[in-house]
């Protein structure tokens, strides 16, 4: 091995600047030739602009919210009676049905084909590196699917297209083509955790109370398809809001029902307000505080699809602490203006507040 460093290169070192290349995932996105939406939030997933995506054979787009270095979203729209090109890859993905009716064919070498039925608000995840093909069964209306993946993490790690998309390895420890795999049955694991590989309708999935997160709060965490990626459903009652909290990067929050707003802020800075309704989506940036407020006349429910943190396969990604500041702010420790602003918004909407005003420690 020769050392090309010499006196000339030493002299050049004072003036030559190293140009760090873009991440592999960013380059891959650009080369796919479809819209890339770099946004803070999406007001309505049904209205995201798309263009033809050769890889899938249908229209598609990328959606990059906060911290797209671990998880990111892809949108597909399948024409009436149409289908995508079969795909397989070494990154995990959730599939959330924004609208439409159809099925996804799951194939793995040596196993029978499984057909996963879906409708609006269904959620499932093709097992890792299986071949899948989405089929729109409606002859009159397009189907729109949101895929939240850990493709950025996987592709930046290996930075090789062929390895990611043409890898023949079979994860038969995760999936063996069982007919019962996608039957929607739940296996309760304890606490607020269940194992289930298909949720036919995330709006109808029964949740349990979670007082720790706030008045009228309910939730459930799901272990699905042996993914390392995590997901959970959360709901809060009319006239209530959740406690402020923060966590690591990559959580895509999809509003399933209700209307309201969320406040998101970096410690020491002013909050950003995101107003939401059904089909809105946003992602709290890494270790930003965020707090969700229901201002409508019905319970608000959202689905959170996130980076590593599956109940059965926990891994830590991103920041794990806030330098001594709390990960959750209790009602009595929050700024009193938060409650007053919320009460005023409810009054404008003709909704009665159901949450008592906190006894603030700062006012004691």
Q: Which domain holds residue 245?
A: 187-316+326-356
Residue 176 lies inside a defined structural domain of this protein: no
Give the model's pLDDT for residue 315.
78
> What kind and span of H or E run contains 153?
helix 151-158
Residue 76 lies inside a defined structural domain of this protein: yes
107 and 217 share a domain?
no
Give the model's pLDDT for residue 229.
93
206 and 273 share a domain?
yes
Residue 363 lies inside a defined structural domain of this protein: no
Q: What is the distance between the alpha carbons of residues 28 and 22, in angstroms, rounded to a whole number?
A: 10
Give the model's pLDDT for residue 240.
97
159 and 237 share a domain?
no
**CATH label of the domain that carries residue 352:** 2.60.120.10
Q: What is the distance between the alpha carbons of residues 347 and 340, in angstroms, rounded to a whole number?
A: 11
Give the model's pLDDT for residue 321.
52
Sort 31 into a burial class: Cβ within 10 Å, 0-12 / 13-18 / 19+. exposed
Give the model's pLDDT for residue 290.
97
- What's the total number of domains in the chain? 2
236 and 154 share a domain?
no
Residue 32 lies inside a defined structural domain of this protein: yes
Question: Structure tokens of 70?
Answer: 């671990």
Q: How far is the CA of 107 from the CAs of 134, 148, 175, 347, in angstroms?
A: 12, 20, 10, 53
124 and 207 share a domain?
no
Give the model's pLDDT for residue 318.
62
CB 279 within 8 A of CB 45: yes
Sort 147 into a burial class: Cβ within 10 Å, 0-12 / 13-18 / 19+. buried
- State which of 109, 131, 165 marks the end of a domain: 165
294 and 216 share a domain?
yes
204 and 142 share a domain?
no
41 and 141 share a domain?
yes
Q: Which residues of the chain have pLDDT under 70?
A: 1-14, 318-325, 362-364
Residue 177 lies inside a defined structural domain of this protein: no
126 and 261 share a domain?
no
335 and 191 share a domain?
yes
Query: For residue 276, which of 36, 27, 44 has the smallest C-alpha distance?
Result: 44
Residue 246 lies inside a defined structural domain of this protein: yes
């Amino acid at each position: 091995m020769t050392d090309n460093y010499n006196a000339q290169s030493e002299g050049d070192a004072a003036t030559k600047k190293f140009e760090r290349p873009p991440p592999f995932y960013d380059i891959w996105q650009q080369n796919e030739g479809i819209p890339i939406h770099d946004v803070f939030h999406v007001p309505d997933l049904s209205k995201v602009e798309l263009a033809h995506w050769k890889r899938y054979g249908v229209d598609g787009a990328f959606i990059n919210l906060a911290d797209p270095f671990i998880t990111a979203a892809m949108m597909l729209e399948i024409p009436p009676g149409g289908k995508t090109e079969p795909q397989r890859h070494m990154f995990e993905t959730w599939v959330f049905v924004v609208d439409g009716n159809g099925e996804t064919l799951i194939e793995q070498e040596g196993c029978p084909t499984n057909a996963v039925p879906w409708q609006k608000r269904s959620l499932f995840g093709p097992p890792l590196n299986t071949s899948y093909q989405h089929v729109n069964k409606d002859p009159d209306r397009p189907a729109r699917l949101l895929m939240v993946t850990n493709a950025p993490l996987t592709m930046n790690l290996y930075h090789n297209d062929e390895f990611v998309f043409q890898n023949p390895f079979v994860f038969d420890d995760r999936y063996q083509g069982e007919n019962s795999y996608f039957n929607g049955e739940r296996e309760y694991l304890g606490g607020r955790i269940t194992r289930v590989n298909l949720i036919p309708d995330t709006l109808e999935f029964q949740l349990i109370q979670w007082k720790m997160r706030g008045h009228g709060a309910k939730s459930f965490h799901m272990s699905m398809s042996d993914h390392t990626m995590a997901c959970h459903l959360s709901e809060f009652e009319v006239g209530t809001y959740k406690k402020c909290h923060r966590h690591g990067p990559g959580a895509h929050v999809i509003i399933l029902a209700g209307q309201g707003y969320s406040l998101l802020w970096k410690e020491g800075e002013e909050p950003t307000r995101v107003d939401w309704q059904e089909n809105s989506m946003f992602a709290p940036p890494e270790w930003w505080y965020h707090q969700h407020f229901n201002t409508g006349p019905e319970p608000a429910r959202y689905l959170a699809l996130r980076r590593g943190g599956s109940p059965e396969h926990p891994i830590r990604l991103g920041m794990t602490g806030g330098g001594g500041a709390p990960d959750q702010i209790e009602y009595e420790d929050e700024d009193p203006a938060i409650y007053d602003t919320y009460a005023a918004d409810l009054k404008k909407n003709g909704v009665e507040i159901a949450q008592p005003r906190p006894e603030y420690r700062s006012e004691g």
